[in-house]
Amino acid sequence: MKYALAAGQRVEASPDGRATCPTCNGEVIAKCGSYRIWHWAHRGMQDCDSWAEKETEWHRAWKNRFPADHQEVVLHDGQSGERHVADVRTSHGLVIEFQHSHLDPKERTERESFYGNMLWVVDGTRLKGDYPRFLKGIDRHRPIINGHFLLAFPEECLPKIWLESSVPVIFDFRGVDASESSDHLKNVLWCLLPGRAEGNAVLVGMSPEQFVSVAPSRAQLIQVMETLANISQVLRELRAQQRYWSLPLPPGGRPLRRPSPRFWDFGSAVRLSNRMRHPRCKSMPKHIHQVPDQ
């Protein structure tokens, strides 16, 4: 942990420092070696928070981008008596957990239900294959609306464990290296929204600076329900438009009445129709194939 209590103050570890744990009041000892980042550890090394993990440089660097009083906030469930330390909790009640290590899906679900209003930031550099797979997957899809991407096959692009998360999951593929990468896709944080829009996973791209400046100012980083509803609407309108064009001409060959102007004005839907094709699928993506003929 980064902070412990000494004389009622939150203090960082310094050589020979002694303090108490803000969660359990147990004694903690300063660990100030050259191998790991300086931190406080419980005597006997067993942390009182069963979810605590060895803090990496990446983890600490992310926490440091938020105000000190938003970092390491102890949360207590009055009913179960459970206590856990949120990496970051903003004054609007949004919990941000930075996840470097592998996480069991069961524990992921437990943490999501304990923190409620939360999002994950995942270290996308831990496993060598994650970024190449992401690149391959994202390459098949184009942005559709303001930096939103649709993934018809998210499992081809992102680590499985995060696909069913009930909260937004942000992938950080740049890792601890804070310098700008020549690979512009690495400089972007990719946020997978929970839920699906007409069967598609939705990824939202944002810069780390945007994330750090916006996250503390809102109860939710992204209005998930609203975003999914808007995208679903675009997809439905597109489908209706395609259905119209696939109707056979009536006897005599006179074209049908033009569809309502709404479809013609819907720029995004038209752009979408040009861009949504999955390269392995010469015609339209699956969910559009599934439209019943009338």
Binding site for Zn ion (CB under 5 A): 21, 23-24, 26, 48
Q: Pairing between strand 95-99 and 118-123?
A: parallel
Nearer to Zn ion, 8 or 279 (CB): 8
For residue 76, the minimal CB distance to Zn ion (Å) is 13
Q: Which residues of 196-228 are buried (b: 16+ CB within 10 A; e: fewer)?
A: bbbebbbbbbbebeebeeebbeeebbbebeebb
Nearer to Zn ion, 48 or 270 (CB): 48
For residue 108, the minimal CB distance to Zn ion (Å) is 23
For residue 57, the minimal CB distance to Zn ion (Å) is 23
Tokens at 29, concatenated: 């000892």
User: Could you tell me which residues are beta bridge partners of residue 148?
Assistant: 145, 204
For residue 110, the minimal CB distance to Zn ion (Å) is 19
Q: Are 150 and 202 in contact (CB under 8 A)?
A: yes
For residue 46, the minimal CB distance to Zn ion (Å) is 9
Query: How many other CB atoms are found less than 10 A from the CB of residue 102?
Result: 9
Nearer to Zn ion, 47 or 237 (CB): 47
Cα-flanking dihedrals φ and ψ of residue 61, to 5°?
Answer: -60, -40
Q: Which helix (H) or strand (E) holds 10?
A: strand 9-12
Nearer to Zn ion, 114 or 244 (CB): 114
Nearer to Zn ion, 3 or 134 (CB): 3
